[in-house]
Chains A and B, each alone.
Chain A
Amino acid sequence: MENKMESKGGEAARILSEIETLKATRSDLDNRISALEAQLRHLNFEKNNVSCPSISTGFVHGLSPDMIYRYSRQLLLPSFGVQGQSNLLKSSILVVGAGGLGSPALLYLAACGVGQLGVVDHDVVELNNMHRQVIHTEAYIGQPKVKSAAAACRSINSTIQIVEHQEALRTSNALEILSQYDIIVDATDNAPSRYMISDCCVVLGKPLVSGAALGLEGQLTVYNHNRGPCYRCLFPTPPPTTACQRCADSGVLGVVPGIIGCLQALEAIKIASAVGEPLSERMLLFDALSARIRIVKIRGRSLQCEVCGENSAFTQQQFKDFDYEKFTQSPLSVAPLMLNLLPEDHRIHSRELKERIVKGEAHVLVDVRPAHQFKIVSLPNAMNIPLSSLESRLAEISSALKEEEKRKHSGFESSASLYVICRRGNDSQMAVQLLHKVGFTSARDIIGGLEAWARDVDPNIPTY
């Protein structure tokens, strides 16, 4: 039985690796094809221009016949027209983050004809990104998001310049990267990046199109434009870290950042083409569940703002030296938090626990994740008591322990162990701290949670 399972596991691994190899080959071929197609288009473009030099140089707006045809539906808009398109083609826009917001923003910015389009990201494409990060395709799983996003943009519009910045944005490189663009789009997913990008835009005098989305809500505004406020004018003090939820923990419906990202592209296009009224000193609040969009008036530039205020002198050097992670008490990269709250003997590795279970050790396993996560996947015989209600449900643990002792050692004097698990091993540590405080001295947390269990003990347990 055991052997059979192992050989099945071996075959699955072999198939997986063959799929990986084939995918890599396919994406390599895709890249070569799109490069050749771009070359071909370029050749045709030059040929056309050579054959009709009088036409290509004959228009004052500088749009080539190909451009006129490609962007015709925008040129036909009286309020946008040749002037708007011509401004757009001369502009440069940087999108920071090729995730849920950046995906649609980049697609539309590439399609509409921004002259130079940059993208910054240090992450790789993962399967659990794809429900919202619609610029990436399955062939790019495991590859840099910047590479994937740039390829998608090029395949939509090979006539504009796409610039890849495959690195994390830091105070050490932000000035250099942002200074190459006219307009910045903040499509990041964490508080320190938002402060850093806003400050950098103030220092460089660039307008910032800022969007955010989480769960079923989104927010959008334009900062540092036409003497309008910056991010710090609105939020001079960073929020407590517990208020900064992440999509990876709280969830997000894919289309919600999609909508906000599209609106970010729209605001960037308006600023670049000098058309319409940008969303400055106003904020758009989107609530998907109730299908409501509310546009509210927000404060103007604050005279007291530490970065853009009347008396502030926030210099490039101060920006470079500013510690945004310390300021917001949270990391710039969104690597999941790994707490270490417990002494070693209050913790157990998943492999060791597995051995103990196989040996028949009397134990109770408490899963402290929220009920909706417990429904996604759970270990057999685990009882679900969410961390938020743990304190009021201690009696259930006591009776489960007594039950287990009776069942396993009818008559013998022995106690059952208490193990606590969660998704990644942070909440379980907090639960064990609490349990020890109220007298459950055998409580131990499973290091790394279900993710570690799936990795080290049972690869059939799905992760999310």
Chain B
Amino acid sequence: MQLTLEFGGGLELLCDSVKIHNVDVSPNNEVDKLTMKDLLVWVRANLIKERPEMFMKDDSVRPGVLVLVNDCDWELSGQLDTPLEEKDVVVFISTLHGG
């Protein structure tokens, strides 16, 4: 499944400072749909190059990270259970405090 993943607010530093990743992620088997929970595991294994604790905590993202699926907060689509479709855009963004 083709997905576009974007990292911002400093999270890109965990993946070689690359912000936009066009990736191909396959579901675990033919029947199951890919969910955000699966995608997080995939991202951690394939894109995060350092300090994984700055990206994840337990099986979700760490506090202070907003997850947006097609420009919409994942809280509104089922969080970890959000199903993903072909060509979806998933944004991971760390909240900023500077000013």
Cβ contact within 8 Å between A287 and B99: no
Most buried by B among A100, A191, A215, A243: A243
Closest to A283 in B: B66
Interface of A is mostly: mixed
- Selecting from B21-29, B31-39, B80-88, B90-98, the interface stretch reads B90-98
Q: Tell me the smallest distance from the CB of B4 to a CB of chain A, in Å.
A: 12
Cβ contact within 8 Å between B10 and A215: yes
Cβ contact within 8 Å between B73 and A213: no
Q: Tell me the smallest distance from the CB of A439 to a CB of chain B, in Å.
A: 25
Cβ contact within 8 Å between A189 and B76: no
Closest to A211 in B: B99
Closest to B65 in A: A239
Known: A214-B10, A287-B8. A250 touches B98 (CB 8 A): yes
Name the one of A97, A100, A187, A299 contacting B73, with C-beta atoms under 8 angstroms. Answer: A299
Bound Cα distance A99, B97 (Å)? 13
Q: Tell me the smallest distance from the CB of B55 to a CB of chain A, in Å.
A: 10
Q: Tell me the smallest distance from the CB of A237 to a CB of chain B, in Å.
A: 4
Cβ contact within 8 Å between A290 and B75: no
Known: A240-B63, A243-B64, A297-B72. A235 touches B8 (CB 8 A): no
Name the one of A244, A246, A257, A294 contacting B71, with C-beta atoms under 8 angstroms. Answer: A294
Cβ contact within 8 Å between B98 and A189: yes
Bound Cα distance A219, B93 (Å)? 10
Name A243-271 residues within 8 Å CB distance of B: 243-247, 250, 252, 257
Q: Tell me the smallest distance from the CB of A324 to a CB of chain B, in Å.
A: 13
Name the one of A234, A246, A298 contacting B98, with C-beta atoms under 8 angstroms. Answer: A246
Bound Cα distance A283, B66 (Å)? 11
**A: number of interface residues (CB 8 Å):** 45
Name A194-225 residues within 8 Å CB distance of B: 194, 211-215, 217-219
Q: Tell me the smallest distance from the CB of B36 to a CB of chain A, in Å.
A: 15
Q: Tell me the smallest distance from the CB of A246 to a CB of chain B, in Å.
A: 6
B78 within 8 A of A: no
Known: A247-B99, A296-B72. A290 touches B19 (CB 8 A): yes
Bound Cα distance A316, B14 (Å)? 40
Closest to B94 in A: A243
Bound Cα distance A239, B71 (Å)? 22
B54 within 8 A of A: yes
A383 within 8 A of B: no
Name the one of B9, B91, B94, B99 contacting A296, with C-beta atoms under 8 angstroms. Answer: B91
Most buried by A among B53, B65, B96: B96
Q: 12 A-B contacts, Cβ less than 8 Å apart? A: A187-B99, A214-B10, A214-B96, A215-B10, A237-B64, A239-B62, A245-B10, A250-B98, A252-B98, A287-B8, A297-B71, A297-B76
Interface residues of B (CB under 8 A from A): 8-10, 19, 53-54, 62-66, 68, 71-73, 75-76, 91, 93-99
Please name 18 further chain A to chain B contacts, defined as beta carbons within 8 Å, in addition to the given A234-B95, A246-B97, sorted by A numbering: A99-B99, A189-B99, A190-B97, A212-B98, A217-B96, A218-B96, A219-B9, A235-B95, A239-B94, A243-B54, A252-B98, A257-B99, A285-B93, A294-B71, A296-B71, A297-B71, A297-B72, A298-B75
The 8 closest A-B pairs by CB, nearest first: A239-B64, A214-B98, A237-B63, A212-B96, A189-B99, A299-B75, A101-B99, A298-B73
